[in-house]
Amino acid sequence: MSNVETTRAPFDPAVLYRALFLAAIAIFVLVPLLATGLGGFKSLGELRVNPFGLPRHWDWQNYADILFSKRYWQLLRNSLIISTLAVTLTLIVASMAAFTFAHVKFWGSSMLLSYLTLGLLFPAATAVLPLFIRVRDLGLLDTYFGVALPQVAFSLAMSVLLLRRFFRDIPYELLEAALVDGCSYIKFFRYVTLPLSRPILATVGTITFVNSWNAYLLPLVMLNTDELYPWPLGIMVYQGEYSSEWHLILAFITLTILPTIILFLLAQKHIVAGLTAGAVKG
């Protein structure tokens, strides 16, 4: 990663300083990550004397034990279920609302939109106790929906705004022509708006997915049974159990963040665009 020297002007000191600076930051970012991944290959004894170097003996046992454990896959499956529920529901509910706000004129439209926008202003944590009581009263405590539904609700504001902005860019003539031909709004939504909006749906889906996949507070409050725990909860329990056996914990961390990193490497452009666009346009 230190390979940042440019091809031109090799003796310009500014370029050298820049390269050194970038290399320093790259090391700052990389070292904790590499140490985590490598730490999983070490024994506890070696970790103590050699926390950051390459392992002297590559010990695959820590990783293998976790990969063959039911626990690891159960955590990932739970996270996947919750995130998928959240993404699916967000996309359906938000795109329907956004379509209405974008294309249907009705009294109170802008008022209702501002109402939804309120959701941008404060984090879920502010109302987490009443939220807990509500989820409990709905009988959703300790269920996937008890986590996913509040997540959807809190992601709606941003999602609706992003989608509406995009939907409104779909040419008016298209809709007009469709309506004249007797096509209904719903069919237009289904067969024109949604197919044309794949990029923005992907963006909204990415944001919702990453937020839900990484979420900790809501599952922590809503879930009690460890069979339902998503991975951020599971990894905290794991750490509590193995307190100082860092080689196991590091292997476990590595394996749980691996899906995120792989996904990121595969779809980095979309993810970066999605997350920053979500922020900028929200």
Does residue 170 touch other proteins according to CB under 8 A? Answer: yes
Does residue 28 touch other proteins according to CB under 8 A? Answer: yes
Does residue 20 touch other proteins according to CB under 8 A? Answer: no
- Considering only 38, 66, 75, 85, the residue that binds other proteins (CB under 8 A) is 85
Q: b vs e for 101-119, b when ≥16 Cβ sit within 10 Å of the residue's Cβ? A: bbbeeeeeeeeebeebeeb
Kindly give, in sequence order, each residue whose CB lies less than 8 Å from that of residue 201, ignoring residues fewer than 6 positions away: 91, 95, 163, 194
Q: CB under 8 A: which stretch of 54-62, 64-72, 131-139 binds other proteins?
A: 131-139
Residues 247-266 that bind other proteins (CB under 8 A): 249-250, 253, 256-257, 260-261, 264
Q: Taking Cα atoms as reference points, which of 152, 141, 148 lies closest to residue 78?
A: 148
- Considering only 71, 74, 119, 192, the residue that binds other proteins (CB under 8 A) is 119
Does residue 48 touch other proteins according to CB under 8 A? Answer: yes
Instruction: Name the phi and psi angles at 53, rounded to 5.
Output: -85, -175
Does residue 29 touch other proteins according to CB under 8 A? Answer: yes
Cα 8–Cα 25–Cα 278 angle in degrees, nearest 5: 100
- Considering only 52, 58, 60, 73, the residue that binds other proteins (CB under 8 A) is 52
- Considering only 20, 25, 54, 67, the residue that binds other proteins (CB under 8 A) is 25
Instruction: Name the phi and psi angles at 214, rounded to 5.
Output: -95, -5
- Considering only 160, 204, 248, 251, the residue that binds other proteins (CB under 8 A) is 160
Does residue 139 touch other proteins according to CB under 8 A? Answer: yes
How many residues bind other proteins (CB under 8 A)? The answer is: 140
The span from the CA of 129 to the CA of 125, in Å, is: 8
Does residue 147 touch other proteins according to CB under 8 A? Answer: no
Cα 282–Cα 200–Cα 158 angle in degrees, nearest 5: 25
| Smallest gap from residue 68 Cβ to other proteins (A) | 21
Return the sign of the alpha-carbon dihedral for residues 75, 81, 83, 84: positive
The SS3 assignment for 171 reads coil
DSSP state at residue 189:
I
Maximum distance among all Cα pairs of the chain, rounded to whole angstroms: 76
Task: Please tell me the number of Cα atoms within 13 Å of 138 on its side-chain side.
Answer: 16
Q: CB under 8 A: which stretch of 54-62, 63-71, 223-231 binds other proteins?
A: 223-231
- Considering only 13, 106, 111, 266, the residue that binds other proteins (CB under 8 A) is 106
Does residue 232 touch other proteins according to CB under 8 A? Answer: yes
- Considering only 244, 248, 262, 266, the residue that binds other proteins (CB under 8 A) is 244
Task: Tell me how far the alpha carbon of residue 206 is from its chain's centroid.
Answer: 6
Nearer to other proteins, 62 or 256 (CB): 256
- Considering only 66, 76, 97, 251, the residue that binds other proteins (CB under 8 A) is 97
Does residue 196 touch other proteins according to CB under 8 A? Answer: yes
Nearer to other proteins, 61 or 196 (CB): 196
210 and 275 Cβ atoms separated by less than 8 Å: yes
